[in-house]
């Protein structure tokens, strides 16, 4: 791992990154029209261009990178526009693939939850149990016994509430999960699928890292810089501020790869797929550091936001000021999280069935498959789609 993560001094210029690749290379015909310049669209553009295909990549936003987009704000602090993005994966293939376009800064993410007078680690670990219950559990065996005594088994485990209460019991559920989940989703955990909490298990060790993956690192100069390198190819034309609807008829020769919302592609013919949205309030302070870790969660429903992020922990940037962002969840706005409920999944399945019958378009990414994916999973999905496409292409040529 050390050999792959190339360390180098981390210094930032105070200027914006150079503007993204322009449309200077535009041509009249393309092999592929790719909609969305996030991970899904950019990985496919890069792979197909490397194979000699001409690609037109459009995004309705004025920037590349999709939801992983980062930029230097007016004070020169590198921030993430759509919420904190921490890269982690167990896949060497995915890590090696992205390493062609960036060096990395090793970063282990840590999160504390603000509970009454305490700030305690999440996911819940032995330190959390000792702090919350005023105990002195000395090792994993003692912590496991204690947790087992708190757990309230239920069968079957169907909802997010069942999943948590059966692992850690009602006290920890109410303090750490219930309010946070209600704010995050606008629904009580008893109304949400159990899959919602699979990302926040409890541990009996005192390991306080948020992720346990083999590779945990941030692109050394940020995500946007990494995307710029990925898309810097003579066969890729990037068209920003461009709606798919405005150009979909201009390139009938091209196969479409769509990474936007699948219901939008089919004109919402079965109804809208519901999403939870987020809003961010950014503040810059005259201080080198404000928080002890990158993210503090606020499970209490008396606080309107769900969490505060301090970006310099993630990026390692050295700067006399610091920027934090408050995160508020809501129903309206940009689509962020698919809402994991069985009726929504059933609606998605209707769209998926039409998608399977549509041979002129391929759907890839989190919005197109209506599922929460981490960045590495989307890269993996895009690489797998590319492999399938090149196999199909090879067999067409052979035929
Ligand atoms: P996007 O990045 O959403 O890209 C899709 C693009 O398509 C967008 O730029 C959009 O503008 C464009 N588009 C859509 N429709 C159209 C249209 N009709 N015409 C033109 N353009 C269109 N993952 C992690 O691994 N680690 C994290 O820490 C992490 N944190 C996250 C925090 C938040 C708040 C959220 C919401 C997600 C987080 N993720 C994280 C997940 C990560 O954001 C996604 O895995 C990744 O961005 C998905 O890439 P994508 O290409 O599928 O979609």
Q: pLDDT of 249-276, one tens digit each?
A: 999 999 999 999 999 999 999 999 999 9
Instruction: Indicate if ligand 1 lies below 6 Å from the C-beta of 218.
Output: no
303, part of any domain: no
Answer yes or no: do 218 and 184 share one domain. Answer: no
Give the DSSP per-residue string, 319-348. -SSEEEEEEEEESSSS--EE---HHHHHHH
The predicted pLDDT at position 392 comes to: 82
Answer yes or no: do 90 and 163 share one domain. Answer: no
Answer yes or no: do 98 and 193 share one domain. Answer: no
Q: Residue 350: which of 263, 285, 246 has the closest Cα?
A: 263
Ligand 1 centroid to residue 17 C-alpha, Å: 20
Answer yes or no: do 225 and 181 share one domain. Answer: no
The predicted pLDDT at position 18 comes to: 39
The predicted pLDDT at position 13 comes to: 28
Ligand 1 centroid to residue 366 C-alpha, Å: 7
351, part of any domain: yes
185, part of any domain: yes
Which of these three, 140, 170, 199, is where a domain ends? 199
Structural domain of residue 38, as residue ranges?
A: 27-71+82-108+214-272+339-398
Q: Residue 368: which of 211, 261, 296 has the closest Cα?
A: 261
Ligand 1 centroid to residue 66 C-alpha, Å: 5
Answer yes or no: do 89 and 36 share one domain. Answer: yes
The rounded average pLDDT for each run of 10 residues, N- to C-terminus, in the chain (399 residues) is 29 33 67 98 98 97 98 97 97 98 98 95 96 97 96 90 92 95 93 74 92 97 98 97 95 96 98 95 97 98 97 98 97 89 94 96 97 96 96 74
Instruction: Indicate if ligand 1 lies below 6 Å from the C-beta of 70.
Output: no
* ipTM score: 0.99
Indicate which CATH number applies to the domain containing 358: 3.40.50.720
Tell me which of 47, 58, 67 to substitute to probe ligand 1's pocket, judged by most ligand atoms within 8 Å of the beta carbon.
67
306, part of any domain: no
- Report the alpha-carbon distance of residue 184 to residue 164 in Å, rounded: 16
Instruction: Indicate if ligand 1 lies below 6 Å from the C-beta of 68.
Output: yes
Q: pLDDT of 134-169, one tens digit each?
A: 999 999 999 999 999 999 998 898 899 999 999 999
Answer yes or no: do 250 and 349 share one domain. Answer: yes
The predicted pLDDT at position 332 comes to: 85
> Which residue's CA lies nearest to atom 52 of ligand 1?
365
Number of domains in the chain: 2
Answer yes or no: do 87 and 229 share one domain. Answer: yes
Answer yes or no: do 255 and 347 share one domain. Answer: yes
Ligand 1 centroid to residue 97 C-alpha, Å: 19
The predicted pLDDT at position 192 comes to: 87
């Amino acid at each position: 791992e050390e050999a792959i993560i190339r360390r180098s001094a981390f210094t930032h210029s105070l200027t914006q990154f150079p503007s993204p690749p322009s449309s200077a290379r535009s041509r009249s015909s393309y092999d592929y029209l790719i909609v969305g310049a996030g991970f899904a669209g950019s990985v496919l553009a890069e792979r197909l261009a490397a194979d000699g295909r001409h690609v037109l990549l459009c995004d309705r936003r004025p920037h590349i990178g999709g939801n992983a987009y980062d930029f230097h704000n007016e004070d020169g602090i590198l921030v993430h526009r759509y919420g904190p993005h921490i890269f982690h994966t167990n896949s060497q293939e995915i890590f090696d693939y992205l390493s062609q376009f960036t060096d990395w800064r090793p970063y282990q993410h840590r999160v504390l939850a603000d509970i009454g007078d305490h700030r305690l680690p999440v996911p819940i670990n032995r330190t959390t149990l000792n702090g919350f219950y005023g105990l002195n559990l000395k090792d994993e065996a003692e912590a496991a016994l204690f947790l087992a005594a708190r757990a309230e088994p239920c069968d079957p485990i169907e909802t997010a509430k069942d999943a948590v209460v059966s692992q850690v019991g009602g006290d920890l559920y109410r303090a750490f999960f219930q309010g946070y989940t209600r704010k995050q989703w606008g629904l009580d955990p008893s109304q949400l699928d159990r899959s919602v909490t699979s990302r926040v298990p409890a541990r009996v060790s005192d390991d306080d890292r948020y992720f346990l993956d083999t590779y945990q690192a941030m692109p050394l100069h940020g995500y946007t810089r990494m995307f710029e390198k990925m898309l810097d190819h003579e066969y890729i034309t990037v068209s920003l501020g461009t709606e798919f609807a405005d150009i979909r008829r201009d390139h009938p020769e091209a196969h479409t790869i769509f990474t936007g919302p699948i219901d939008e592609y089919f004109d919402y013919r079965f109804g809208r797929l519901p999403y939870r949205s987020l809003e961010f309030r950014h503040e810059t302070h005259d201080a080198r550091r404000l928080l002890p870790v990158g993210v503090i969660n606020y499970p209490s429903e008396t606080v309107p936001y769900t969490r505060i992020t301090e970006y310099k922990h993630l990026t390692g940037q050295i700067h006399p000021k610091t920027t934090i962002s408050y995160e508020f969840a809501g129903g309206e706005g940009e689509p962020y999280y698919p809402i994991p409920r069985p009726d929504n999944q059933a609606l998605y399945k209707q769209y998926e069935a039409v998608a399977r019958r549509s041979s002129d378009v391929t759907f890839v990414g989190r919005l197109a498959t209506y599922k929460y994916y981490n960045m590495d999973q989307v890269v993996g999905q895009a690489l797998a789609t590319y492999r399938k496409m090149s196999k199909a292409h090879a067999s067409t040529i052979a035929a």
